[in-house]
């Protein structure tokens, strides 16, 4: 009854009939509403109950850019409908499917729906598809919009709803042939905004200070603090808790409960953010307060009632594409004005609130961009191009994206896929490409996995691929860095980080660890959650390998080529991510684009390796390569002869075939110019 009461009070409820009338009338509908108005939890249910009488055995899908949101909202809606999660209402995220034959409403990440579209171009299992949080403009949502625009023409029975939190709805309407718009008027309270007079040197420290100050001086109401990632958030939660305890003793402040919220948090812990704030410690005492320290998830994806104070340092972790180095990395970057406004809005959900921006008003006005750029414009598109090929999109350049990327970016992606042998010289999907697209992995990882039986180590590469698909397995708490590093040394393999991770995994699966894995991980400074997740990912990838008849084999451990075979298999996928030592110093040069990089301090590899492959390019104060393993120059030629320029190699220079071709073209152009011809 309680839940029902809350639901009836949500703004979207008032517009239920209006929504249904419009929904029945038009095939595509754009629906915008303030965060917290009930879009994600209610609209799919309206659709469901409207659809149900026809009972055409089809499902309603509602996509979310974030896995946490998909899980959390599915759980909430299952509760509202009073059904067990995973039956009528379920969710599907990468490597986890909580649905059944009974499922009629499915929350899923946009990436998962895209994967489904690969095998079912018309998405025939669904009667209605709701693309939620469209304003986030994730890569997957953008591609889905492009696809669905065509699918609705082929399937007049399919309904499409585009839901978004911002009011820039006209862009969506225009894109979808002038689809009608329904806007739920917001019912938010005013939020007072405060800026810092001077820029903050250390935003985390400033954030902690602000939270404590609010707790000590402001009336009741919960606090939402935006930070950028798991480690920073966990660290901050600890610090705030400690300081809050002091505050309780010193000034008799109320109890403070601090909860983290980020993407990889286990579901039970995620749910705790909805717990009510603690009451007074003694009768008549001060009320307690809840503090949530969250990534961008709490910006629009999840609504937490009771928030009155928002602390916004102005940063989030964003995918940034460096076109010069042609690598994407996750970087802590300034947010946009639109984001700042959304964040502030979270303070006015239940009553008038306050937002503390930890930057100056001048910075807000002059330095923040209006809107975050769509992800498609800041990504390496090779995985996307492979997906589109598999989706049957032939003409990539004319595929109707809301914001098309530069043709150059597409060319690069095609080139990369060609070197991976996923596309042939005509740009057609090869057998390998088709196979690679079966795996929910980056093309390089998929190719490595598929090639691994040839190197007699598919069991090991399967484990490694899984480990590379989950968060960091090594835990390095600020308070115990040395102890953690000493433990890591026990697993270290002299040839590099990949092999070290594999050693960890094997130890984790050993009898001693499995006796009490949680404790074992704790004792060894390893993340139990990450390793458990890797195990789960491994199981799912293994199923795909079995289905595709890829053999699972190992070189006997006693054989001296055991580790060497694994390193060779790594080259089969990552031959484009190779760096060569430059002279005698610490510097390495990446082969792909001649970037000077150094090995990330976390590596177990010594500085003498001449050739290394790396998993990740990290740009902070310096350019690092992270997760590196030593390889041999001659393997590169053996395993990726098309990519490497053999002639140059023999001369002792490391160059790629692509560079040779580009140089040739440059020379030809220069010749044309000098002859007065048109270049
Ligand atoms: P919108 O999508 O418009 O931002 P939602 O449908 O997500 O809004 O949220 C509507 C209401 O449901 C909010 O008041 C929110 O607090 C509540 N809600 C959503 N998920 C949960 C949950 N897991 N537990 C408790 N309340 C929830
Ligand atoms: Mg929502």
Q: Which residues contact 242 (CB under 8 A, 6 or more apart)?
A: none
On whether both 203 and 251 belong to a single domain, the answer is: yes
| Domain shared by 535 and 620, yes or no | no
Q: Is the CB of 39 under 6 A from ligand 1?
A: yes
CA angle 447, 124, 30 (to 5 degrees): 100
Q: Has residue 152 got a pLDDT over 50?
A: yes
DSSP letter for 94, please.
Answer: T
pLDDT, mean of residues 653-664: 82
- d(C-alpha 58, C-alpha 62), whole Å: 13
The CA distance from 94 to 444, in Å, is 18
Residues 520 and 389 reside in one and the same domain: yes
DSSP string, 573-632: HHTTSEEEE-TTSS-EEETTT--EEEE-TT--S-TT-SEEEEEEEEESSSEEEEEEEEE-
Report whether residue 303 contacts ligand 1, using a CB cutoff of 6 Å: yes
**DSSP H helix total and E strand total for the chain:** 28, 21
Same domain, 539 and 580: no
Is residue 652 pLDDT above 90, yes or no?
no
Per-residue pLDDT averaged across 607-632, rounded? 90
Nearest CA to ligand 1 atom 7: 40
Ligand 1 contact via 33 beta carbon (within 6 Å): yes
pLDDT score of 193 more than 60: yes
546 has a pLDDT exceeding 90: yes
Residue 311 has pLDDT above 60, yes or no: yes
Same domain, 360 and 503: no
User: In angstroms, what is the span from residue 576 Cα to ligand 1's centroid?
Assistant: 44
Q: What is the number of the ligand 1 atom nearest to the C-alpha of 301?
A: 4
CA distance 376 to 385: 11
CB of 418 sitting under 6 A from ligand 1? no
Q: How far apart are CA 44 and CA 34, in angstroms?
A: 17
Which ligand sits nearest to residue 135's alpha carbon?
Answer: 2
Residue pLDDT, tens place only, 317-327: 988 876 655 66
DSSP type of residue 229: S
- Indicate whether 679 pLDDT > 50: no
Ligand in closest contact with the CA of 32: 1
Judgement on whether residues 513 and 552 belong to the same structural domain of the protein: yes
State yes or no: pLDDT of 331 exceeds 80.
yes
Q: Is 268 exposed, middle or buried (0-12, 13-18, 19+ CB in 10 A)?
A: exposed
Which domain-ending residue is among 314, 344, 376? 376
Q: In this predicted model, what pLDDT tens digit does every residue of 333-367 receive, in sequence order? A: 999 999 999 999 999 988 999 999 999 999 999 99
- The tokens describing 381, both together, are 């598109």
Cβ–ligand 1 contact at 274 (below 6 Å): yes
Q: Is the pLDDT of residue 655 over 90?
A: no
- The Cα 646–Cα 662 span in angstroms is 16
pLDDT at 650 over 70: yes
Quote the ligand 2 centre to 9 CA distance (angstroms).
16
pLDDT of 280 reads 85
| Other C-beta atoms lying within 10 Å of the C-beta of residue 20 | 14
Instruction: Give the number of the ligand closest to the Cα of residue 39.
Output: 1
User: In the predicted model, what is the mean pLDDT of residues 109-118?
Assistant: 95
Structural domain boundaries enclosing 211: 191-376
* Nearest ligand 1 atom, CA 75: 23
Among 35, 38, 259, 306, name the best residue to mutate to test ligand 1's pocket (greatest count of ligand atoms within 8 A of Cβ): 38
Ligand 1 centre to CA of 110 (Å) is 19
Rounded to the nearest angstrom, the distance between the alpha carbon of 302 and the centre of ligand 1 is 7
Closest Cα to atom 27 of ligand 1 = 76
Q: Tens digit of pLDDT for each residue in 577-614? A: 999 999 878 999 999 888 899 999 999 998 789 999 99
Question: At residue 678, does pLDDT exceed 50?
Answer: no
pLDDT at 420 over 60: yes
What percent of the chain stands above pLDDT 90? Answer: 70
DSSP, residue by residue, 149-217: HHHHHH-TT-EEEEEESSS-HHHHHHHTTT--EEEEPP-PPPEEEEE-SS--S-HHHHHHHHHHHHHHH
Residues 215 and 282 in one domain: yes
- Ligand 1 midpoint to CA 264 (Å): 20
Contacts of 413 (CB under 8 A, 6+ apart): 380, 381, 382, 384, 385
At 53 the pLDDT is 58
Q: Which of the 8 DSSP states describes residue 644?
A: B
Q: What integer pLDDT is reported at residue 474 of this predicted model?
A: 95
Ligand nearest to the CA of 8: 1
Average pLDDT of the residues of the chain:
91
Structure tokens given for 188: 């938010």
Whole-number Å distance, alpha carbon 300 to ligand 2 midpoint, is: 6
Q: Is the same domain home to 386 and 439?
A: yes
Contact indicator for 224, 298 with CB cutoff of 8 Å: yes
Q: Which of 186, 155, 144, 179 is nearest to 30 (CA)?
A: 179
Residue 300 Cα: closest atom of ligand 1: 4
Q: Is 350 in the pocket of ligand 1 (CB under 6 A)?
A: no
Shared-domain flag, residues 238 and 103: no
**pLDDT for 256:** 92
393 CA from centroid of ligand 2 (Å): 30
What is the reported pLDDT for 99?
Answer: 96
Q: Residue whose CA is closest, atom 22 of ligand 1?
A: 76
Q: How far is the CA of 70 from the centre of ligand 2 (A)?
A: 10
- Tell me: do 171 and 237 sit in the same domain: no
Are residues 120 and 134 located together in one domain of the fold? yes
Q: Does ligand 1 come within 6 angstroms of the Cβ of 35?
A: yes
Query: Angle at CA 515, nearest 5°, toward 511 and 516?
Result: 135
- Ligand 1 atom closest to the CA of 43, numbered from 1: 6
CATH number assigned to the domain comprising residue 282: 3.40.50.300
pLDDT of residue 82: 94
Please give the Cα distance from 23 to 28 (Å, whole number).
8
Final residue of a structural domain among 184, 207, 224: 184
Final residue before a domain boundary, out of 331, 348, 376? 376
Q: What is the pLDDT of residue 539?
A: 95
Separation of 38 CA from ligand 2 center, angstroms? 7
| Residue corresponding to tokens 């979808």 | 176
* Judgement on whether residues 17 and 129 belong to the same structural domain of the protein: yes
Q: What is the CATH number of the domain that holds 401?
A: 1.20.120.1080
Residue to substitute in 44, 76, 184, 265 for testing ligand 1 pocket (most ligand atoms within 8 angstroms of CB): 76
220-265 tens-digit pLDDT = 999 999 999 888 999 999 999 999 888 888 877 889 999 999 988 8
The CB of 305 under 6 Å from ligand 1? The reply is yes
User: For residue range 269-290, what is the model confidence (pLDDT) as tens digits?
Assistant: 888 999 999 888 788 888 899 9
Domains contained in the chain, number: 4
Contact between 70 and 337 under an 8 Å Cβ cutoff? The reply is no
Q: What is the DSSP letter of 676?
A: T
The finding on whether 10 has its CB within 6 A of some atom of ligand 1 is: yes
Would the CB of 38 count as within 6 Å of ligand 1?
Answer: yes
């Amino acid at each position: 009854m309680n839940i029902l009461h809350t639901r009836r009070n949500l703004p979207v409820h008032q517009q239920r009939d209006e929504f249904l009338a419009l929904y029945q009338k038009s095939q595509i509908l754009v629906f915008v509403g303030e965060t917290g108005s009930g879009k994600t939890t209610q609209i799919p249910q309206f659709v469901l109950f409207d659809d149900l009488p026809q009972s055409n055995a089809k499902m309603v899908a509602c996509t979310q850019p974030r896995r946490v949101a998909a899980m959390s909202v599915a759980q909430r809606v299952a509760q509202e409908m009073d059904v067990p999660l995973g039956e009528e209402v379920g969710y599907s995220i990468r490597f986890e499917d909580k649905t059944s034959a009974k499922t009629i409403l499915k929350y899923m990440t946009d990436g998962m729906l895209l994967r489904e579209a690969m095998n079912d171009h018309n998405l025939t299992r669904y009667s209605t598809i709701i693309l939620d949080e469209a304003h986030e403009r994730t890569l997957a949502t953008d591609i889905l919009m492009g696809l669905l625009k065509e699918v609705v023409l082929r399937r007049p029975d399919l309904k499409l709803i585009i839901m978004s939190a911002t009011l820039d709805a006209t862009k969506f309407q225009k894109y979808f042939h002038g689809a009608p718009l329904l806007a739920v008027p917001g019912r938010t309270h005013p939020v007072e905004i405060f800026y810092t007079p001077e820029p903050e040197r250390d935003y985390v420290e400033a954030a902690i200070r602000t939270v404590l100050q609010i707790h000590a001086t402001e009336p009741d109401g919960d606090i939402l603090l935006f930070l950028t990632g798991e480690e920073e958030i966990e660290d901050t939660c600890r610090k705030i808790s400690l300081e809050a305890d002091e505050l309780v003793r010193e000034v008799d402040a109320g109890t403070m409960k601090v909860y983290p919220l980020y993407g990889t948090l286990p579901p039970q812990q995620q749910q705790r953010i909805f717990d009510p704030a603690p009451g007074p410690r003694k009768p008549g005492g001060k009320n307690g307060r809840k503090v949530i320290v969250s990534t961008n998830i709490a910006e629009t994806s999840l609504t937490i009632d009771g928030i009155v104070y928002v602390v916004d340092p102005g940063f989030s972790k964003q995918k940034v594409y460096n076109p010069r180095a042609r690598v994407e990395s996750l970087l802590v970057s300034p947010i946009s004005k639109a984001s700042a406004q959304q964040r502030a809005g979270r303070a006015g959900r239940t009553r008038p609130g306050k937002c503390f921006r930890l930057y100056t008003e001048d910075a807000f006005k002059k330095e923040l961009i209006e809107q975050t750029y769509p992800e498609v414009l800041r990504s390496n598109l090779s995985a996307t191009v492979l997906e589109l090929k598999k989706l049957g999109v032939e003409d990539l350049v004319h595929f109707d994206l809301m914001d098309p990327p530069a043709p150059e970016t597409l060319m690069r992606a095609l080139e990369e896929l060609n070197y991976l042998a996923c596309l042939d010289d005509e740009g057609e999907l090869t057998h390998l490409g088709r196979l690679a697209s079966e795996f929910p992995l980056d093309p390089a990882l998929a190719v490595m996995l598929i090639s691994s039986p040839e190197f007699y180590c598919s069991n090991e590469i399967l484990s490694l691929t899984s480990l590379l698909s989950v968060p960091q397995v090594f835990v390095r708490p600020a308070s115990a860095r040395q102890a953690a590093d000493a433990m890591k040394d026990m697993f270290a393999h002299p040839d590099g980080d990949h092999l070290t991770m594999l050693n960890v995994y094997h130890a984790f699966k050993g009898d001693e660890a499995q006796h009490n894995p949680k404790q074992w991980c704790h004792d060894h400074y390893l993340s139990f959650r990450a390793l458990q997740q890797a195990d789960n990912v491994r199981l799912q990838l293994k199923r795909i390998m079995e289905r595709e008849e890829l053999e699972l084999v190992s070189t006997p451990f006693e054989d001296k080529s055991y580790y060497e075979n694994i390193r060779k298999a790594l080259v089969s996928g990552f031959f484009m991510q190779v760096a060569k030592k430059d002279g005698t110093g610490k510097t390495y040069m990446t082969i792909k684009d001649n970037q000077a990089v150094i090995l990330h301090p976390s590596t177990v590899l010594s500085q003498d390796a001449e050739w290394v492959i790396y998993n990740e390019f990290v740009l902070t104060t310096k350019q690092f390569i992270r997760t590196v393993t030593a390889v041999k120059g001659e393997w590169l030629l053996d395993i990726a002869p098309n990519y490497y320029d053999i002639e140059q190699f023999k001369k002792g220079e490391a160059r790629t075939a692509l560079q040779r071709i580009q140089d040739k073209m440059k020379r030809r152009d220069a010749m044309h110019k000098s002859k007065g011809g048109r270049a």
